[in-house]
Amino acid sequence: MSSIVKQWHSALPHLGYDLPADQPPTTRTAGGVAVNLPLHLARQSLSRQEFWDIPEPVLDQYRRYRPTPLWHAKDFGEAIGAKVPIYVKYEGGNVSGSHKLNTALAQAHYYRQAGVRELVTGTGAGQWGTALAAACAVFSLRCTVFMVGDSLTRKPYRGTLMRMLGAELHASPSGRTAIGSRPAGGGNSLALAIGEAVEYARDADGRAFAIGSGETYSILHQSVIGVEAIDQLGDLEADVDAVVGCVGAGSNFGGVALPVFAAAANAARPQPLLLAAESTATPKLTRGVYAYDRTDATGFGPSEAMYTVGSDFTIPGSHSAGLRFHGSAKLLSAMRHHGQIAATAVGQQEAFTAARTFVQHEGVLPAPESGHALAAAARLATTGVTDRGEHLSARDGILVCVSGHGYLDLGAYEQHLAGLLRDEHADDDLIKLATAALQPVGGKL
C-alpha cells in the first residue's frame, strides 16, 4: 500500500454502549483549571461520527513517514516456535522513534488553531515528550516537558533530543511546581510528571496541557496504524484473528486494534482477539480495579472511569518506562469491562528476551515497551495465554504493533545482557491500599 490514509477511524459507533461520564475534580482552587481543549478534540472524544478527515497540514507531516512498514516476521516466528504467522506493524521510523508523533502532530495543529502558544506535557519514557517537541517545532509552538526523573537518568539522550527540538525539559519531581516540590506517594511516577505539567500549564495564559495516550481523541489519531495495517494485510493476502499491543494508557494498542474491531463490526464478522500487554510492575488491566480515579497526581482534572492500580500507587522501578502509568484509557477500560479486550501482564526479563530475539532475527531493535507486546504475541503464538480463567490462542495469525525503536534504551539492554535485571511485581496489598478509597464504576469493585 503506497497511498496515505486520509481519515481517522473511530470505534465509538460500534461499542454498543456509552462511555461513563467523568466526575468533577476533587481539588478546587480560586482560579480553577484552564483546560483549553480545542473544540475539535472535544468532539472527537464524544461524537459517534465514524470517520474524521485528517487536516491537510497534518497529512503533509504524515507523508514524511507514513505509511509505516508491515511485514511477516517469519524468522522471529520460527525462532520462538510459533504455530501461526506473526505480522509486525512498525511505528519507530520517525524523529520521535514511536507512534506518538501521530497524535502529537494532530494536537499541535488543533491547539495552534485555538490560539495556544505553548504546550506543556508530562512524559514517562520520553517518546511522547519527544513527539510533542517535534510537533511544536513544526507548528511554531513553545514546548515544556516534565519527564519522569529516573527515566531521564536512565536515558539522558531522550532529553538531548527534546532540547534539540526546542523543548524546555525538567526532570520530575522538579521543584518548579507545588506538587513537584513535595511529592507524595509514588515520587518518580508518570502521574506526578503529568501533575506537574497540569499545574504549570494553568499558571499562564496561552499555555495548554497536552496528553498523548489515554484520551479518546489521541486513540482516534492513532487509528492510522490499524487502518494502514488492514490494507497492508490485504495486500499480503494475510488473515489474522488476534491483535496485540503494549499498554501504558493505551494509544498504540487502541490505534492498531480498534480499527480492526470496527472493520469486523462493519462487515458483520466475528471479532478478533484483542490482547493488551502490560507490565507486571503496573498491572492495571489484569489486577487493578474498575473505578473512578485521577489521571494525574494533582486532582485538578476530572476523575475518569478506568482500570487502575491507584494514582497514589508507588510503581516499582523497571524499564517498562512508558507502561508505568497507573491507569488505562477510559475507552479501553470500558471495552475491558464489557469483555471486548483481553489482557496479560509481562515481566521485563521476558520482554527484553523477546526484544533480543526480534532484533537478532528481524533486524529491528524494539523499545522495551514493545518488547512486552512481542512477548505477549510469542505466548499467544505458542502456548496461548490465560485471561480471567479463559485460555486464549490464535488460529490464523497475529498482528502485533512494535510501537517504537529501542536505540535510546541501550543502557537498559546493556543491563539485560549483563544479567542485572529482575522482574518487578506490584504488591497486592499495596494495590488494595491505593484503590481502597476509589469509587467503583457501577457501584461495586
In a domain, 5, yes or no: no
In the predicted structure, residue 270 carries a pLDDT above the cut 60: yes
Nearest-angstrom CA–CA distance, 183 and 40: 34
Residue 73 forms part of a structural domain? yes
Percent of the chain with pLDDT over 90: 78
Tell me whether residue 418 is in a domain: yes
Of the pLDDT bands very low, low, confident and very high (cuts 50, 70, 90), residue 184 is low
Residue range 149-177, pLDDT digits in tens = 888 988 899 999 999 999 999 999 998 88
Percentage above 70 pLDDT, the chain: 92
Q: Which of 10-14, 107-111, 193-197, 258-262 has the lowest mean pLDDT?
A: 193-197
Q: List the CATH number of the domain containing 276.
A: 3.40.50.1100
Q: Peptide bond before 25: cis, by omega within 30 degrees of 0?
A: no
Q: 434: closest CA among 278, 279, 288?
A: 288
Q: Is residue 355 within 8 Å of 366, Cβ to Cβ?
A: yes
The answer to whether the Cα torsion of 50, 51, 57, 59 is positive or negative is positive
Residue 296 corresponds to which cell in the numbers above? 494525574
On whether residue 379 sits in a domain, the answer given is yes
Provide the domain count of the chain: 1
β strands within 330-406, DSSP E: 342-346, 385-387, 390-392, 398-402
The CA-atom distances, in angstroms, between 283 and each of 104, 227, 278, 289, 420 are 26, 28, 6, 10, 22
Strand runs (DSSP E) across 178-284, as ranges? 207-209, 242-246, 273-279
Q: CA angle, 417 as apex, 416 and 418 as ends, to 5°? A: 90
pLDDT computed for residue 31 by the predictor? 40
The answer to whether position 241 is within a domain reads yes
Whether 147 maps to a domain, the answer reads: no
275: pLDDT strictly greater than 50: yes
Q: How many CB atoms neighbour CB 404 within 10 A? A: 31
pTM comes to 0.94
Question: What does 15-65 look like in DSSP terms, one character per residue?
Answer: SSSPPPPPBPPS---TT-------HHHHHHHH----EEEPPHHHHHHHTTT
Give the tens place of pLDDT for each residue, 353-370.
Answer: 999 999 999 999 999 999
Domain that holds residue 438: 66-97+217-443
Distance CA 149, CA 151 (A): 5
pLDDT tens digits, one per residue of 243-254: 999 999 999 999
Determine, yes or no, domain membership for 138: no
Cis check: omega of the bond before 173, within 30 degrees of 0: yes
What pLDDT, on the 0 to 100 scale, is given for residue 29? 44
Instruction: Let me know if residue 28 belongs to a domain.
Output: no
CA distances from 61 to 67, 353, 355, 417 (A): 12, 34, 29, 37
Mean pLDDT, rounded, for 180-200: 76
CA dist., res. 167 & res. 119, Å (int): 10
pLDDT at residue 203 in the model: 83
